Amino acid sequence: MADFPMPVFYSYPPYFTLQPVKETQRKQRESWKDLILSYCCHHRIFIVSLDAAADEFPLFENKAIQRKLSLEARSLLLEDLAASGRGRWLGPDRRRLLVLWRGVGEWADVIHAWARGNGLEDSVVSLEELLGGEDVRGSELAGMPRELLSAALRTLEERGKARVFRGDANDDTGVKFFA
């Protein structure tokens, strides 16, 4: 967390209590929403879970002032992200959120640029390769969860920039990129 500049409100205790007054709470949630997005972007965090232990996602607790967000507050913040299009729930139980600090369309661009940059146009790449192969390491694609990758590839398919060949099992799936 050291190199990420925390906003002033992060050290201001009442920001960790869900405000009882509607308008104040709206401001509070707006500030948190921005912070979650920039924090996740900075640390390349893709998924935030309501069940996560504090050490997995330390943002919701500020030990320095002994404050943490309640489950209710955390859940509301993630709902806000989903409602504004900056997050997608993974699964119907709404416990894990895919945080879209880049929109799916943007990710599609990133993947396509990566494929071009690696000379992979008109060749088939396996999904597993995209999820953690040699070429992906250290690139913009590193760490992308399967759900996000699939969504971005669907977008590329719609744009006619890729074609996904689905095999029987997950590791059979391949992607062909077009220029």
Applying CB under 8 A, the residues found at the interface with other proteins are: 7-9, 11-17, 19-21, 23-24, 27-28, 63-68
**CA dist 54 to 24, 33, 63, 80, 117, Å?**
26, 18, 10, 21, 38
CA nearest 90: which of 46, 40, 128? Answer: 46
Q: Identify which of residues 84 and 170 has a Cβ nearer to other proteins in the complex.
A: 84
Q: How far is the CB of 2 from other proteins (least distance, A)?
A: 13
Residues 48 and 71: beta-carbon distance below 8 Å: no
Q: Identify which of residues 34 and 122 has a Cβ nearer to other proteins in the complex.
A: 34
Q: How far is the CB of 79 from other proteins (least distance, A)?
A: 21
Q: Identify which of residues 12 and 178 has a Cβ nearer to other proteins in the complex.
A: 12
Q: How far is the CB of 174 from other proteins (least distance, A)?
A: 48
**CA dist 171 to 61, 134, 167, Å?**
38, 16, 8
